[in-house]
Chains A and B, each alone.
Chain A
Amino acid sequence: MAPDELARTAYTVECFLNALRLDDGRERTAIEERLVKWLIATENKSGYLIFSDGNIFCHTGKEGSRAVNTIPVPTASRQHALWCSHKKLSEIDADSYAGNGKLVMLGTAALLLTLPGSAEAAAAKPTFEIGFSNNNNNNNNNNNNG
């Protein structure tokens, strides 16, 4: 694999583990290495990871395929599922998927893909669920940069 692609994969996995709110440490480093190696090794880059209920499931091939490996991450404090391929992270809006509630409350916290220890990670409230609408309106009333 090209060095660029290795860097892309390593970085994406790093963001994935950040989003699980997995503490830094030896254990995390070992998981990170294992996941990167595994994603790189899968044929046609078809591998993907799913975090759900305290476990990381490693899949190859089509979506919905059987997990070929499972890594428990009991200290991950994220509540909702997260998908990770070698080049992107994906999540679904749990509220929209949970039912047909009339009121869709769009969260205000951003997807926590920051590095551990960064100012943004520190500022994020761990109890907040991840939302889909970024707070970024710059309407004409309070326009700071047009």
Chain B
Amino acid sequence: MNLPSRPIHLLYVPTLACNLGCSYCYLGTQTTEAKLKEDSARAASTLRHALTALDEAGVLAFNVSLHGGEVTTLPAAVLDELFSLVRAHYLRHFDAITALGHKKLAPHIKTNLYKFAPLYDLFEHHKVSISASIDLPLKLHEEHRRTLGGKGWRDLACDNLRRLAAYPHAKKISATLAAEHLADIPALIDDIWYIHRELGFDMNQMNLMFAFPSALNTAARGNPLAPANEAAQRALYDALNAAFAGTELEEGLRRHWFDEFTPSYCTNAVNCGERFYLLQGDGNVYSCVRGQGLPEFHYGNVYTDPIDTILASGARKISAIHQQFGLADDCHNCGHLAQCHSGCAVVKFQRQQAKSYTCQLQKALYRDYPLRFPALAGNDQAAYARNYIARAHPALAINMPAPPPAPAALVLPSDLVEPKNGLRALIAGDPTLVELYRADAWQLEINGEYVALESQILRARSDCHTILPGDQISLHLCRDLLAVACPEPLRNTVYLQVLRDTPVVYGDEQRSKQAHLFTYQRFANCLSDSPLGEHWAMLDLAPLLALHAPLFQRGVRNNLLVTTGYLRDYHYQKQKMNAFYHVQAINLPFQNLEFHYLTDA
């Protein structure tokens, strides 16, 4: 198995068949035309095929949820197999899924609860996490959620909600709201309390959704339910806040009920087609439940197309939809673009509008939770919008005026960061620089203790020694350095510079630099023999430092740099020849020792 590298969210719809005929169903006639027998026969094999293909493509479905149609129309044996498959998948990828921060081990199912009672034991056996769809107020459940035969089943729904309340594993309720549902908000509030108190289901575990116009629903049923407009959505939000703040359902109100409109959901992804997919039992892959059956949101088929092609098609199609509807001025200037990304692509397509259909509601949430959803303003907002537009609306980006560069921005050539241009690589490629930067060619002896000197720009450790006038200090160097880059070693010198950390500003760059105190050169044939051996030479530094003692200041660090006269020349020649070297060796690159000189000891 390849190591999974790309996490995705997979909704699996093993059948489009449904035992209900809800008036606002976005699947249109697909729920009644589905062939349950055929679906049952291939439900498990399609999921197995898809999960294997994803594994082989290095894609990790970190979440596999079962969705309808109505999944429970499938025979119990098929459901049993599907649950087992999902559990085995989670266990197979336990480490990778946990590393992503998810705790999934149980299958999750969306159901209308109609067949909950007979399937209870099976669900419990697999610890299935359940999301139950209901209508609120419950009187509309009776009206809109009717059986295929047109019968209401409110009593059964309430019985099953009681059963769900006692169900020992993860569970929640979701309610899809249209304008009609919001016409009687007090009744909706009463029924939330009724389910919570009378039926015993903890309504903190509820989330709300809004119906939106669906082409397939319109074609099948003439779209009898008008969507709730933004003012109605806001009115609901305000009414629920007023009714539930300070109650035992406040946590649900704040945390779960409006979660769908927060950035954690697919609706706020920059491009949901990169991460969210819906697989049908026939192998077809769509964007999600909202895009199911629409060619614009059909990404391919797992039986005929490679996974990479399907995923790429998803990203391309979603990008095309966002581009088709452009970016509204409101969104361009919105401080919450970073959280919202202008909303769901399918709803944009269904409504033929560029903005999120829950914009006002989202803004109320952003206002109420400013730390969770911080607003960007001014330059930050403009920079985010530019970045977002460049990614999501490239055609707009190319026509926008280029942003002014930040006044303090450094302009560096893009190849500066290529590995071959790094200082160490440049040194490795030049034998003379290798000698110049050697960390084993210079030793400073302080009172009998040897300190190896390294280039001050290469080392990652800094020492600062406290030196007293009576200290024995001598410099030892490998004699062969005197022959490097020098045709006549006799003409070479040991080149010392001593700087003091009292800054002076000079040069075209107006850099603040350490002040130079003195430079000293000793010719090669005037060096002493070193106790380190015949390949080493020595120079006594104590008299030189003592001579300059008046230049050293209490509390100010000094910096002794050592090289040879010819290596120093080579460094400057190299700087002229190679700009990458020049900029990285802008500070003296020679071996050094930092010290305080304590004159008044």
Contact = CB atoms under 8 A, between A and B. Distances in A.
Which of B513, B572, B587, B588 has the most CB atoms of chain A within a 10 A radius of its CB? B587
Contact of B461 (A18, A90, A123): A90
Interface stretch (B59-67, B214-222, B249-257, B501-509): B501-509
Contacts of A140: 572, 575-576
Contact of B417 (A93, A103, A141): A103
Interface string A82-121: 0000011111110011000011001010110111001111
A142 B508 contact: yes
Nearest to A90: B463
B459 interface: yes
A63 B335 CA distance: 53
Interface in A110-146: 110-111, 113-115, 118-121, 123, 132-142, 144-146
B556 A8 contact: no
Central interface residue in A120, A135, A140, by most chain B CB within 10 Å = A135
A119 B513 CA distance: 15
A75 to B, nearest CB: 20
B553 to A, nearest CB: 9
Contacts of A132: 456-457, 459-462
Nearest to B572: A140
B511 A135 contact: yes
Contact of A144 (B456, B507, B576): B507
B555 A118 contact: yes
B104 interface: no
A49 interface: no
Interface residues on B, range: 35 or more
A110 B501 contact: yes
Contacts of A121: 555
B513 A137 contact: yes
Interface in B573-601: 575-576, 582, 585-588, 594, 596, 598, 601
Contact of B462 (A8, A91, A136): A91
A119 B500 CA distance: 14
B576 to A, nearest CB: 8
B460 A93 contact: yes
A74 to B, nearest CB: 24
Contact of B596 (A91, A113, A120, A123): A113
Given A135-B587, A141-B508, A142-B506, A113 B557 contact: yes
Given A4-B468, A144-B506, A138 B588 contact: yes
A134 to B, nearest CB: 5
Contacts of A15: 464, 466, 555, 596
Interface of B is mostly: mixed
B588 A120 contact: no
Contact of A8 (B503, B555, B557, B598): B598
B454 to A, nearest CB: 11
A7 interface: yes
A89 B466 CA distance: 8
A123 to B, nearest CB: 7
B462 A4 contact: no
B495 to A, nearest CB: 10
Contact of A134 (B419, B507, B576, B587): B587
A15 B597 CA distance: 12
A111 B594 contact: yes
Contacts of A110: 501, 514, 557
Specify the main secondary structure of chain A where it touches its partner. Answer: loop
Contacts of B587: 106, 133-137
Interface in B547-573: 554-557, 559, 561, 572
A114 B596 CA distance: 10
Contacts of B586: 137, 139
B52 interface: no
Interface in B471-508: 499, 501-504, 506-508
B431 interface: no
Nearest to B573: A140
A114 B556 contact: yes
Contacts of B513: 134-138
A38 interface: no
Contact of B555 (A90, A102, A113, A136): A113
B508 A18 contact: no
Contacts of B150: none
Nearest to B569: A140
Contacts of A137: 511, 513, 585-588
Given A134-B587, A137-B587, A144 B555 contact: no
A10 B153 CA distance: 90
B350 interface: no
B519 interface: yes
B601 A93 contact: no
B509 A142 contact: yes
A135 B512 contact: yes
Nearest to A123: B503
Interface in B267-322: none
Contacts of B507: 141-142, 144
B470 interface: yes
B456 A139 contact: no
Nearest to B422: A102
Enumerate the 6 nearest inter-chain pairs by beta-carbon distance, A residue then B residue, closest first.
A142-B507, A115-B555, A96-B460, A7-B601, A93-B460, A136-B514
Interface of A: 3-4, 7-8, 11-12, 14-15, 18, 87-93, 96-97, 102-103, 106, 108, 110-111, 113-115, 118-121, 123, 132-142, 144-146
30 contacts: A4-B601, A7-B598, A8-B601, A11-B601, A87-B465, A88-B463, A91-B461, A93-B461, A102-B422, A106-B457, A106-B587, A110-B501, A110-B514, A113-B464, A114-B557, A115-B555, A121-B555, A132-B457, A132-B462, A133-B457, A134-B501, A134-B514, A135-B511, A135-B587, A137-B513, A138-B588, A139-B572, A139-B575, A142-B506, A142-B509
